[in-house]
Amino acid sequence: MSLSQTDKHLTFILRLCALLSAAVILLILIFLLNESLSIFQHVSVSRFINDASWHPQQGLYNITPMLSATILSTVGALILATPLGIASALFSYFYAPKFLATWYRRLIELLAGIPSVVYGLWGLTTLAPLIAQLHPPGVSLLTAILILSLMVLPTVALTVEAAIAAVPASYLQGAMALGLSRWTSIKCIILPAAHSGITSGILLATGRAIGETMAVLMVAGNVVQHPHSLFDSVRTLTANIALEMAYAMGDHRAALFVSGLVLMIMVLLLVFMAAFFKRKPAYV
């Protein structure tokens, strides 16, 4: 069966669009490598792990504290946001009365649309002083985790709800015909069937949490150190770039591009993980 002329044109245009987006990603990678290359010529890769601290103007380039801060704040935010997001989706899809569910969903969508800098400002002026009463200085890993979980909660809630809605209605009807309770059918049929959608929703939220910059910059404290407690001030890789890029030159600038490269590698790993989870069958 041969394609019609219109289809041929459409195929060509679509291929072109896909190629352009792929080329952009490739160019970003080339750009990052190109910009960080100048520092790798006289600073070995191991120094980014073994140096005493991050003081790029004095030639010290240890980026591991920022890597640990990025990972810890992301994992912390997911631990909080994932159960809440799934619960929120189940509530609005199965348990809430219809009018309430509509308004509730709009509220969550609104939460997703608030610019990150607004979350940051609120965190800095309201949440940080509250936490400072518990343990100074207030801006800390904990504050960053709380703000980040608030930010990724709508992502989890909305994608999980979409995944649940995509489960064929006949599954639920079958479960009800068998006389299963609502919670049993959710737990044993709906959630396993929506498993792949939920996982990709969580991975999407992870990507957002890793990449979040402004809000974290404002509430995390930005001291470069491996945190010893939740109340310690930390700096993430993204905040590092935003803080120092404006005035960085030479090796300092290149070192910031290395932070960007590490971030890019983390996101790439995440994408491969997503692909790995996707390959599993949706329902077993």
Partner 1 sequence: MKKLGQLTILILIAAIVWGYFKPHSDQVAMSIEKLVLTGSSTVAPLVAEIGKRFESLHPNVRVDVQTGGSSRGVTDTRTGLANIGMISRALKKNETDLLSFTIALDGISIIINQSNPVSSLSKQQIIDIYTGKIINWHDVGGNNAPITVVNKAEGRSTLELFLHHFELTNTQVKPHVVIGDNQQGIKTVSGNPNAIAYVSIGAGEYEAEHNIPIKLLPLDGIGASVSNVHNRSFPLSRPLNLITSKQPGGIAKTFIEFARSVQVNDLIEAQYFVPIAN
Q: Does 50 bind partner 1 (CB under 8 A)?
A: no
Residue 69 three-state SS: helix
81 contacts 153 by C-beta, under 8 angstroms: yes
Q: Distance between CA atoms of 28 and 262, rounded to whole angstroms?
A: 13
Closer residue to partner 1, CB minimum distance, 123 or 201? 123
The 10 Å Cβ neighbour count of residue 170 is: 9
Q: Distance between CA atoms of 256 and 232, rounded to whole angstroms?
A: 23
How many residues sit in the footprint of partner 1 (CB under 8 A)?
Answer: 43
Q: Does 1 bind partner 1 (CB under 8 A)?
A: no
For residues 87-126, which are near partner 1 according to CB under 8 A? Answer: 121, 124-125
Residue with tokens 């396993």: 192
Please report how many Cα atoms fall inside a 13 Å half-sphere around the Cα of residue 259, on the Cβ side.
31
Closer residue to partner 1, CB minimum distance, 27 or 178? 27
Name the minimum Å distance from CB 75 to partner 1. Answer: 23
The H or E element that residue 10 is part of is helix 5-40
Q: Does 187 bind partner 1 (CB under 8 A)?
A: no
C-alpha angle 190/82/185, rounded to 5°?
Answer: 15
Interacting stretch for partner 1, rule CB under 8 A, among 72-80, 108-116, 150-158, 222-230? 222-230
Q: Does 16 bind partner 1 (CB under 8 A)?
A: yes
Binding site for partner 1 (CB under 8 A): 8, 11-12, 15-16, 19-20, 23, 27, 30-31, 53, 55-58, 60, 121, 124-125, 128-129, 132, 136-139, 217-218, 221-224, 233, 235, 242-244, 246-249, 252
